[in-house]
Structures are given as structure tokens and as C-alpha cells.
Chain A
Amino acid sequence: MMLKRLLPPLVVVVLLGALFAFGLLRGAPDRDIESALLGRPAPAFELPLYERYQPDFGTVLTSADLQGKALVVNFWASWCLPCYQEAPVLQAYWQEYQDADVVFVGIQTQDRDRLNEGRAFLSQFGLSFPNGIDNDSSISVDWGLYGVPETFFVDRDGRVIHKHAGPVTAELMDAKLRELLN
């Protein structure tokens, strides 16, 4: 009788305990999450671009268009605070490197139909590298995204050499761009 009554709280406590024990044993969330893509060819994508990029890059940017170029693929969302932090950094490096053999691609994801928010984000930071929306989040699935922001570095042979979770920093951009371009 007593046991039966204690069962519901016991079950709740055991479940919560197991969940949090998992959380503790897993350790603090890592910034550089291992990606299954590392060293492999980057997945293909077709990205419908925002209006402001269409004169220069066309309405849809595909991975085929970019063959032979190194890529910095940045996933962001209009609701993601760290994305606001890193946007100026990305733009600064794009301005510095746009004449080199590298293309930056911004992909708005997990942000269904929030095109106006996306446009506001782009004009807020004046991002001049091509940005488009992954409206059904399918690109983010192909690329094995864990969260936003995440940034992938793809070399000229089309292989993913690095993935960074969280906002990018100047140090990281310096190091990885050098790695990509030599």
C-alpha cells in the first residue's frame, strides 16, 4: 500500500535523476562538436537567395556553381542571439577575402517563413556575401546541424575540413581561412 503510493514520485525522481545524470556525465556542451562530415565531401545544396544578392549571384545558388572554390558556410537564424554577435565578424572577413578563392555562404535555417526577419538581419549588418533561406530546414538536415550558429569550412576539393558550433571569432577565421587557402 505504502509502496504503491510512493511509486509516482519515485518514478518522476528516477527519470529526472537519469536525465540529469546523463547531462552531467556527458560533460559541458562542447563548442567544437565532432561532425560526421569532417574529411568528407560537403553535401550538395540549392539555396534560394534573398533579393539583394540576386543581381550578383542569381536567384538560386547551388553547390555546383561553386565548384573549385573554398567555402565558408554559415548557418544562422533570425532568433539566434550569438548569430548577431558573429555577423559583423563574418562580414569583415568577407570584405577582406572576397577577392581570394573563397566564397562565404549564409544560410538562414530553422526559421520557417520568417523572410522579413531574415531581410532585417541582413540589412542590419549589411552582409554582402550571398545569403538565402533554407525554409524547410532540409539543408540543415543534410549538413547534420546541431544548432545555430554553426559554420563549416570546405576546402577547394569540396571536403569539409572544420566545423565550428557557436559564434565565430576573429582568431578562428584567421586560422581556418589560412588553412583553406594554402
Chain B
Amino acid sequence: MMELQLGPLGSAGVFLAFGLALYGAVAGMLGAQRRDARLQTSARLAAVAGFIVSTAAVAVMQAALLTDDFSVSYVATTSRIASPTWVKVVTLWAALEGSILLWAWLLSGYTALLAVTAPLSPLRPWAVSIMQVVQVFFFGVVAFLANPFEVLPVPPLDGPGPNELLQNHWMMAVHPVLMYLGFVGLTVPFAYAMAALITRRPGTEWMTQTRRWTLTGWGFLSAAIIAGGWWSYEVLGWGGYWAWDPVENVSLMPWLTATALIHSVQVQERRRMLKPWNLVLVITTFSLSILGTFLTRSGVVSSVHAFGSGPVGPAFLVFFLFVTLVSFGLLALRWDDVRDRADLDSVVSREGSFLGVNILFVALTFAVLLGTLFPLVVEAVSGDKVTIGAPFFDQVTLPLWMLVLALMGIGPLLPWRRAEQQRLTHNLAWLTGAFVVAGGLAWLLGVRKVYPALTVGLAGYNLMSLGLLLAGALVPRLRLAKRSAFAVLRSYAHESRRRFGSMIVHFGVVVIAVGVAFSAGYRVDQQIRIDFGESAEFDGYTLTAVDRFVERTPQRISSGAVIEVSRDGRPVRTMTPRLNVFGDSRAVPTPAVMYRPSHDLYLNLNSTVGPTTTFVVLRVVKSPLVTWIWIGGFILVIGTAYALGGSTRTVPARATVRAEERAQA
């Protein structure tokens, strides 16, 4: 007789996952402490079982969303019968409870993967247990504080639907998942670093075990940030992609420290230096990802992205403080084991440039953190409320970004230990030449703003650097092998995946930098009123308001204007900026964007359009080169994936390390 109820079923899955994580954490640590292989295996099995039951919980939630089961609290508060299927699927992460469930599920997936695939080592049991400790927190929040599976005694007939900004664009299906995959991926190196501190093995082992995890997490986080920018460009209607909003800042901070980390681990691998530094970075990265969640989910800093508060904010705060105290405390206690023994031979060396880039990224992190928290600090101290806007972040970070670009070009050309003077001068001459030529050319062509011109110069300099790197690697091989240049390039790219992948990533960064410099520096932004049937001029374009329309679908009502865009009398495109109304929510402007390699034309409706309106107010934005940001992001992700592909480690690297170890002994 009893009907299958999805709410209790999902709750059962979540509580079971919580129990398994708790058991696994305790059993794994006991097993590691007592060197009891059976307990360790049991903890690993618990990790796998935890993934299975949490997958079941996610499947139950999806079933509830897809079948419009409004007896499940999360479905009742966030879903709607009229939503199309894809919106129902992504509604899982359209609100707080569901997105924490998603995060916990991805975390359990990574933990299970780690438990199954990580090679046996003294670090493994501890690392798996620490992942499970993190899981205890997340499943604890899902089970006890923000349970999406609560059963409503009187289910409503329909729900309000997800946040209208989120259902307005498919990008929302992608961005949060990428973000969580990034955060969760960066939990793995944190777990291994903790394991290394606990077992007093702060060598390179934890890094080599987690290199792929770190890079994977970093790649996802990079993709998430770019996708978030693109989403806000396509959805928010102001024609920009980055506003230094706290929500954006908190996703940027862990990315900055993770970027520092993927560079400085190489110094430890090669030269056994920066040990404590890498530990600090990996801990900070993880702490910042938790801090960010706390800041944005608690309403502590004001942001245009408002999330509901509740007990989840304080829980994240407590967890953040716990993580920070325990991990940095442990680092302080193990300081003697961790301290560096080698010194930098010369600042002008690969490790010197990595150190420089680290300092820059940490300074950037600090600036962003300061700008984000400063209003709160001022209010706590003096009671005054202040706002920190984009000018602060631009002024402080732009010079640092320029230095990052400068180091990105020279760093990979410097040898380890010490640069040879002649070679250095030769490379520097080429780089400076490229900088001057590119920057000068930009200046002659009319780029008279400092940062865009500087960015073009540095882009030329970086392309030269990539050219020199490739030439340095390929020319000797070409001489020896007598094969076609393409064949040599292919075998080089195949042999040195990490190096070649990093070149692709750096190239992507150059592309992004140019896109940002021009779209921010030369953006034209105007509000124009056009009567229907009339035209208006905008920066070389003629915009004609041809018609208005109203479309109704069960999901939404959409009204907008038909604008014909022409240039020099020739029609270019018909664009239809619109306002979408989902259910009872407020209207969401939906800009129409014309993507072009040279510049985008962006139309957003700033007035309501009905069957009888006689005019339309448009916000018209022309941003040069903005598309290249997304293309650069794509290149960056390809490069990261390339570096991750294939399993061979570079053998010569190991040999040098061995030789160095012998020399040090």
C-alpha cells in the first residue's frame, strides 16, 4: 500500500553518506596510526560505499525534480512544473541546499576515486581520511542544517521555479559544476599535504602524488571563472564580465593561490626548496575556497548576488576556522621538519622567476582579500559603512598583472640555478625588441591608453618568448633528426607534454590579457532611445527599431524589440534584445549579442516593450576583442588538458634531482 516516498529515501542516502564518511575518517586514521591494513581497507571501502549512496541521493533528487514531486522541500522551493527538462536537471544546483548536495557528492566521488586509484604509500590512508573529514562536514550540513529532502506535509501544487537569472541561460548549467569540480579537486592536494605533515614526510611525495589532481582542480577553476564571466556578460545586461563583486573575488582568490602553487611546486620538485611555502599555499587555497563559500552564503559582505542566509553561513565559518587553525597549527608544530635547507643560487634563474611570480600572485590574493573584507573591517572598528569599488581593484591589481605578464615571458627562458650571462642578454634583447615593436605598433595605430598599449607590448614579448622556447627545443632536434619541422614539433609536443601544455596555457593567457585590455579600455557604452520605425547612429552602426514582439511559452513570457543593424548602408544583422518573465518573478533582461572577432555589439533592453509602445530604450555596448577572452579561456583549458594527458613523467628531471640529492648529502 505504501507509496514510495522520495523525501525519506533521499534523506536516508544523505544520512548514510554522513555515517560512512564519519566511519571512514575514524577507521582510516586509526588504521593509519596502528598500521592496520584491514582498518585502512575498510575505510577505503567506506569511501566507495559513500559515493554509491550519495549518488543514489542525487539520483533521488533528480527523480523528484523531474517528476515535480513537491512533497520534497527543495523541489517545492526551487522548481516549477513548466520548466523545461534541462532546467529541472540543473535546478539541483540552482539554490543553496542543492548545490551543497552537489558539492558533497562530487567530493565523495573524488574520495572514492582516490581510494581506488591512489598508489599505496604511507600518505594514502591519511589523505583518504582527511577527504572523509571534509565529507563529514559537507554531508553534515546537508543532513542536519540544509536538508533538501525534508518532507512537506501539505505539498504545494506548483513551485516558484529557480532564480530567474539562472534559468535564463544554459551557461548556468555549466559554471557551478566547474567551480565545485575545481574546489573539490584542490581538496586532494590539501588532504595529501596534511597527510605529509602528520606523517612527518614533507618531501616531494605529497606533491608528485597529487600533481594531476592539483592541475585538474586548477583547470576546472579557471574554466569556471571564465564561464562565470561569460555568463554575466550574456545575462546581466550591463555588457561587462567582471565587476569585482565579492562573489567573483572569492572565486578568484583560491585560483590565484592555486596558480602560485602549480608554479612553486616545480621549484620543490627540482631544487627541494620552498617546502613550507608550498604547504602554506595548498592550505591557503583550500581555506579560501571554504571562506569564499562562507562569505557569499552568509550575507556578511554585501554583493549583487544575494543568497539566503540561515544556519549554513555560521557552519561554514566554524569549518573555515577549524581548517585554518588545525592546518596552520600542524604546520607550526612541524616547522623544524619543513624548513628549507637549500638557498637560492641566483635570483636570475628559473626558481627565482617562480619565486617572483609567487610573490605577485600572493600580493594579488592579498589585495583582493583586503578589498573584499575592508568594508567589514571598517564597520567592525568604527561602525562606518564603506564600499570598495572597481577603481581600488583596478589600480592595485593592474600593475601586478602587468608584472605577471612580464615574468611569464622571461621565466620559462631562464635555466635552473643560474642564468648564463650571454644567453640571458641574447634572450632579453629579443624579448625587449618584440615588446618595443608590438607596443610601438599599437601606439602608431592609435592605442594611446597606457594599459592596453602596455598589454600589446607584453603580448608581443610573450609571443617572442614562446617562439624562443620552441626554437630552443626544436632547432637542435631538427639538426639531428633531419625530419620535417612538423614531425619534430609533434614528437617534441608528445615527449614534453607538461612543458608544451604550459606553453599552450601561457598562450591562452596572452590572448585573454589582450581581450581584457581592449574590452575594458575601449568599451563604448550608450543609452539610446529609438522610436519604432526610426533609426539611430551608434559608433559606425545604424540601428533601426523595426518592430516589437511578445512571445508566450508555458515557461516564460518574452517581449522585445526587433532591431536591424546596418553598417555603411549594408544590413549586418537583425538583433532581438528581450525581457523574459518566468512565472511570477521579475523580468530578466536578455541582451542580444553580435559576436565578432574585432568587437562585439551588445544590445540590452532598458525599457519595457508592449504591443502599444512607440519607442524602445536600448543600452548599446561595443567592446573590442571581448570574444578573445572566451577563446583564450578555451585555449587555456586545452593546454591544461594536454599537459594532463599521457602518463609519462620526464625522466631527465628525475635524474637531475637524484644528482642534486647526492650533491647535497
B-binding residues in A (CB < 8 A)? 2, 5-6, 8-10, 12-13, 16-24, 26-29, 33, 77, 79-82, 84, 88, 110, 120, 124-126, 146-148
1/0 per residue, CB under 8 A from A, across B313-334: the answer is 1100100110011001101110
- Which residue of chain B lies nearest to A88 when distances are taken between CB atoms in the complex? B606
Whether B492 is near chain A, meaning CB under 8 Å from some CB there, is: no
6 example contacts (A-B, Cβ-Cβ < 8 A) are as follows A5-B333, A9-B332, A16-B324, A22-B376, A88-B527, A88-B617
Q: Which of B321, B333, B335, B377 is the one whose CB lies under 8 Å from A13?
A: B321
Q: How far is the CB of B160 from chain A (nearest CB, A)?
A: 21
**B309 interface residue per 8 A CB criterion:** yes
Q: With A5-B332, A17-B317, A88-B617 in contact, is A23–B386 under 8 Å at CB?
A: no
- The verdict on B415 contacting chain A, using a C-beta distance below 8 Å, is no
* Contact status B377-A24, CB under 8 Å: no
Nearest Cβ on chain A to B390's Cβ, whole angstroms: 5
Contact B309 A9 (CB under 8 A): no
Asked whether, in the complex, the Cβ of A77 is within 8 Å of the Cβ of B373, the reply is no
Return the 5 tightest CB-CB contacts between A and B, nearest first.
Answer: A28-B299, A146-B385, A23-B300, A147-B387, A9-B328
Q: Is the CB of A24 within 8 A of B298?
A: yes
Interface size counted on chain B using CB atoms at 8 A: 41
Q: Are A24 and B389 in contact (CB under 8 A)?
A: no
Q: Which of B523-564 contact A (CB under 8 A)?
A: 525-527
Give the distance in Å from the alpha carbon of A125 to the alpha carbon of B329 in the complex.
55
Specify which chain B residues have a CB less than 8 angstroms from the CB of A29 in the assembled complex: 299, 302, 385
Q: Which residues of B contact A20 (CB under 8 A)?
A: 294, 300, 317, 376
Please measure, in the bound complex, the distance between the C-alpha atom of A77 and the C-alpha atom of B386, giving whole angstroms.
Answer: 13
Contact B313 A24 (CB under 8 A): yes
Q: Are A124 and B525 in contact (CB under 8 A)?
A: yes
Q: How far is the CA of A169 from the CA of B377 in the complex (A)?
A: 30
Partner of A19 from B314, B333, B377 at Cβ < 8 Å: B377
Q: Which residues of A contact B329 (CB under 8 A)?
A: 6, 9-10
Chain B contacts to A: CB under 8 angstroms: 238, 243, 294, 298-302, 304, 309, 313-314, 317, 320-321, 324-325, 328-329, 331-333, 335, 373, 376-377, 379-380, 384-387, 389-391, 525-527, 606-607, 617
Find the B residue at minimum CB distance from A147.
B387
**B607 neighbours in A (Cβ, 8 Å):** 88
Instruction: List 7 other contacts, CB 8 Å, given A19-B380, A21-B317, A77-B389.
Output: A8-B332, A9-B324, A23-B301, A24-B298, A80-B387, A84-B238, A147-B387
Question: Is there an interface contact between B324 and A28, defined as CB atoms closer than 8 Å?
Answer: no
For B324, the chain A residues whose CB sits under 8 A away are 9, 12-13, 16
Which residues of B are found within 8 Å of A21, using beta-carbon distances? 317
| A81 in contact with B243 (CB, 8 Å) | yes
Check B299–A146 contact: CB distance below 8 A.
no
From B304, B379, B389, give the contact of A79 (CB < 8 A). Answer: B389
Contact status A17-B238, CB under 8 Å = no
- State in angstroms the CA–CA spacing of A58 and B309 once bound together: 49
Contacts of B389 in A (CB 8 A): 77, 79-80, 110, 148
CB within 8 A of B387: which of A8, A27, A88, A148?
Answer: A148
A23–B300 Cα distance when bound, in Å, is 5
Contacts of A26 in B (CB 8 A): 379
Known: A6-B332, A81-B243. A24 touches B317 (CB 8 A): yes
Residues of B within 8 A of A9 (CB): 324-325, 328-329, 331-332
Q: Report the nearest B residue to A111, measured CB to CB.
A: B391
Within 8 Å CB of A17, what residues of B?
317, 321
Q: Which residue of B lies closest to A10 (CB)?
A: B325
Within 8 Å by CB of B385, from A12, A16, A33, A124, lies: A33
> A10: which B residues are within 8 A, CB to CB?
325, 329
Chain B residue numbers with a CB within 8 Å of A5 are 332-333, 335
